[in-house]
């Protein structure tokens, strides 16, 4: 009888500790519409085009994307222009950094590259406001 209760306790602990019991895996929401975009800026260190979105509170960035910059060109007026990849390949949302390996748009095949990531938009917002 005691052996059976120890076995049952062990099984309950194993089920409680298993990662599959944590619930459904996170799903990345679709790219927010342009009216939620609060900033877009070229990060010349990383050669990425960063877009920041505030989908719930206009003062809080809660979604960010990064697209590869394929080419930088000078416009006739002297301002730079950017030829961008059609879809973002890095997405920060829900305290996770997601990667779209195939760069085919947000369609469910994205994976979490790193979890519990805190994104700091202030450097990008400052660059955007200084332009």
- The pTM is what? 0.75
Reply yes or no on whether the pLDDT at 16 is more than 70: no
Biggest alpha carbon–alpha carbon distance for the chain: 86
Distance of alpha carbon 100 from alpha carbon 5, whole angstroms: 47
What is the mean predicted confidence (pLDDT) over 108-122?
A: 92
The token duo for 109 is 């095949």
Looking at per-residue pLDDT, the higher value among 18 and 117 belongs to: 117
**Number of separate domains in the chain:** 1
- Lowest-pLDDT choice from 21-25, 66-70, 92-96, 127-131: 21-25
Question: Tell me, what's the pLDDT at 22?
Answer: 52
Evaluate whether residue 59 is within a structural domain.
yes
Evaluate whether residue 17 is within a structural domain.
no
Portion of the chain with pLDDT greater than 70, in percent: 77
Distance of alpha carbon 93 from alpha carbon 109, whole angstroms: 15
What is the mean predicted confidence (pLDDT) over 75-98?
A: 95
pLDDT band at 125 (very low <50, low <70, confident <90, very high): confident
Evaluate whether residue 10 is within a structural domain.
no
Evaluate whether residue 7 is within a structural domain.
no
The token duo for 76 is 């006739």
Reply yes or no on whether the pLDDT at 1 is more than 50: no
CB atoms under 10 Å from CB of 82, counted, come to 14
Print the domain residue range for 77.
28-130
Evaluate whether residue 12 is within a structural domain.
no
Q: Answer positive or negative: Cα dihedral of 6, 20, 115, 93.
A: negative
Evaluate whether residue 5 is within a structural domain.
no
Evaluate whether residue 35 is within a structural domain.
yes
The CA-atom distances, in angstroms, between 17 and each of 13, 21, 37, 101, 122 are 6, 8, 40, 30, 38
Looking at per-residue pLDDT, the higher value among 8 and 57 belongs to: 57
Evaluate whether residue 18 is within a structural domain.
no
The token duo for 86 is 């059609």
């Amino acid at each position: 009888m005691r052996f059976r209760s120890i076995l049952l306790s062990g099984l309950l602990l194993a089920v409680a500790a298993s990662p599959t019991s944590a619930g459904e895996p996170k799903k990345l929401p679709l790219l927010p519409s342009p009216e939620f975009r609060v900033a877009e800026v070229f990060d010349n260190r990383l050669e990425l085009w960063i877009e920041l979105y505030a989908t719930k509170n206009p003062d809080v960035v809660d979604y960010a994307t990064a697209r590869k910059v394929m080419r930088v060109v000078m416009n006739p007026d002297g301002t730079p222009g950017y030829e961008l990849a059609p879809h973002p390949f890095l997405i920060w949302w829900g305290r996770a950094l997601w990667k779209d390996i195939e760069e085919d748009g947000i369609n469910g095949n994205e994976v979490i590259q790193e979890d519990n990531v805190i994104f700091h938009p202030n450097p990008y917002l400052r660059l955007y406001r200084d332009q």
